[in-house]
Amino acid sequence: MVDEQLRARGIHDRHVLRIMEAMPRHLFVDDTLAARAYSDHALPIGDEQTISQPYMVALMTQALDLTGNEKVLEIGTGSGYQTAILAELAERVFTIERIPAIAAAARERLTALGYTNVVFRCADGTLGWREMAPFDRILITAGAPRMPAFLEEQLRPGGIAVVPVGESENQSLVKATRTEDGLAQRVLCGCTFVPLIGREGWASGNVG
């Protein structure tokens, strides 16, 4: 997976490559899908949600430019795979998931794996997590109709956010850096994430 899907496509951050080489991705999917856990696509995790494609996880993590000291906010815990990678590469991770069963499963999984630097919350993450702000990095792993407004206030100056933004079926992966003049944005690539549902996201049942 790491050689063919990540290195060959230009993922070069050695910390990201090392952690993804070591991370047991099969433990983040149902037993019936374990044989496909390292293949080149997203997989279902229940409730119409997915664990993201390995390459997309690598690309987003690399774009966050982590040094080990960061306080990170993740919206869309899902399986917890991306959360675990962030927990390895940053100091602390605050992660929000809106579906209770998915949130509970991820918490259980990461606790069993021994992670102690992750704080879980089950809520609508489109408003961020004001009590815990500011964050050095913010990662959204569901497709937002537009850049959520909370980024401007909850991202520390100089901080980086990575967000898929666009239509419900396909989005642009945007890297935003908070500067004195607001968010400096750059598109990294096209992508397809499940929709970000909530007050500042898509309306539930009205996606697409």
Interacting residues with ligand SAH between 132 and 171 (CB under 6 A): 141-142
- Residue 111 or 179: which CB sits closer to ligand SAH? 111
Question: Within 10 A of 190 (CB to CB), how many other CB atoms are there?
Answer: 11
The DSSP code for 97 is: E
**39 catalytic, yes or no?**
no
Q: From the centroid of its chain, how far is CA 179?
A: 22
Instruction: Give backbone dihedrals phi and psi of 137, rounded to 5 degrees, phi first.
Output: -145, 145
CB of 143 to ligand SAH, least distance (A): 9
124 lies in the site for ligand SAH, by CB under 6 A: yes
**Pick from 5, 61, 62, 79: which binds ligand SAH (CB under 6 A)?**
79
Write the binding mask 168 to 187 for ligand SAH: x where contact by CB under 6 A, - elsewhere: --------------------
Structure token pair of residue 81: 């795979």
d(CA 98, CA 54): 22
Give the total of residues touching ligand SAH (CB under 6 A): 25
Question: For residues 6 and 196, which CB has a smaller minimum distance to ligand SAH in the complex?
Answer: 196
| CA-closest candidate to residue 64, choices 115, 21, 13 | 13
Residues 30-59 that bind ligand SAH (CB under 6 A): 49-52
Residue among 125 and 145 whose Cβ is closer to ligand SAH: 125
State both tokens at 46. 């229940």
* Spatial contact of 74 and 96, defined as CB atoms under 8 Å apart: yes
Q: Which amino acid is at 127?
A: L
Nearest residue to ligand SAH on Cβ basis: 78
Give yes or no for a contact between 5 and 55, defined as CB atoms under 8 angstroms apart.
Answer: yes
Q: How far is the CB of 97 from ligand SAH (least distance, A)?
A: 5
CB of 54 to ligand SAH, least distance (A): 9
Given the complex with ligand SAH, which of 98 and 107 has the nearer CB atom? 98
Burial of 58 (0-12, 13-18, 19+ CB in 10 A): buried
52, 168, 172, 204: the catalytic one is 52
Nearest to 146 by CA among 195, 184, 180: 195
Query: Which residues lie near ligand SAH (CB under 6 A)?
Result: 49-52, 75-76, 78-79, 81-82, 96-99, 102, 124-126, 141-142, 194, 196-198, 201
**Which residues are catalytically annotated?**
52
